[in-house]
């Protein structure tokens, strides 16, 4: 039937195909889903795996500071620590940084200015606050600057198991605190995951978050596979790894990636 249509009236197909892609991408955009290109929409029905970012995709993307654990002999109280951490997180665009800055504002703290600010993607931030060197980030960031987090690992592991994201703060080269932020799962996420499973798709989560945190969220949502502690630059490789695992047809898996960046 399509062959006859193309021979008899090729203009119909020539017009209908791009129009249908345009309408499809337009309707998706109204629902908050942006396709990088028309080809992505056309091949979506052939997907074997849907890989999802966590923060802002599965979760609200608006985390809140929930816990502050001071290291033994930190030499700072919680308010003094939060002033320094909020100062160095102020210029950062990361949702976790915004959570810390909001927490300091809610407590009415006077947050000083930061100098020599540097963001290290996938690791953390550093800067000088009131003459003191402040570094805030993941455990891998602390290891990179030569600090051992073992003294706070028990506290941070307990927080991660609850689905919270732990991070650490160091002042003048001394580990002083483990903090945690919680980012609630979107109300629509469980139904979306269930719908993907009903469609016969495997669901994976690729995130830079702490492994225990990611696994806790995945267990709650029934996600099949977790790739945690993945740096931003390595997410493309994580997708390639999923492709190599194979799809339903026996060849490479076709992976749809859903996140807040392209």
Positions marked active-site? 53
Distances (CA, A) of 134 to 91, 142, 229: 14, 11, 23
How many whole angstroms separate alpha carbon 79 and alpha carbon 105?
A: 11
Cβ burial, residue 84 (10 Å; 0-12/13-18/19+)? buried
How many whole angstroms separate alpha carbon 120 and alpha carbon 40?
A: 31
Q: Is the CB of residue 63 less than 8 Å from the CB of residue 181?
A: yes
Q: Is the CB of residue 138 less than 8 Å from the CB of residue 167?
A: yes
DSSP state of 145: T
Alpha helices in 69-182 (DSSP H): 78-89, 95-106, 139-144, 150-161
How many whole angstroms separate alpha carbon 36 and alpha carbon 2?
A: 28
Structure tokens at 76: 């700072």
């Amino acid at each position: 039937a399509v062959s006859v249509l193309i021979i008899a009236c090729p203009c119909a197909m020539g017009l209908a195909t791009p129009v249908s892609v345009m309408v499809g991408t337009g309707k998706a955009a109204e629902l908050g889903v942006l396709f990088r290109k028309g080809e992505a929409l056309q091949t979506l029905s052939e997907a074997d795996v849907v890989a999802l970012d966590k923060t802002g995709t599965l979760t609200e993307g608006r985390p809140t500071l929930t816990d502050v654990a001071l290291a033994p002999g930190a030499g700072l109280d919680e308010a003094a620590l939060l002033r320094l951490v909020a100062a160095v997180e102020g210029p950062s665009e990361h949702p976790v940084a915004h959570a810390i800055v909001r927490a300091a504002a809610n407590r009415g703290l006077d947050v000083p200015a930061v100098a020599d600010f540097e963001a290290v993607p996938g690791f953390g931030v550093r800067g000088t606050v009131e003459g003191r060197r402040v570094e805030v980030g993941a455990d891998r960031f602390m290891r990179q600057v030569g600090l051992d987090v073992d003294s706070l690992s028990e506290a941070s592991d307990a927080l991660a198991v609850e689905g919270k994201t732990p991070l650490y703060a160091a002042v003048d080269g001394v580990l002083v605190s483990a903090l945690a932020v919680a980012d609630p799962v979107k109300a629509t996420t469980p139904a979306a995951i269930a719908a993907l499973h009903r469609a016969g798709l495997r669901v994976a989560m690729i995130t830079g978050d702490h492994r225990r945190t990611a696994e806790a969220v995945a267990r709650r949502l029934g996600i099949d596979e977790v790739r945690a502690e993945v740096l931003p630059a390595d997410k493309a490789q994580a997708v390639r790894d999923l492709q190599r695992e194979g799809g339903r047809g026996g060849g490479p898996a076709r992976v749809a990636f859903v996140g807040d960046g392209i």
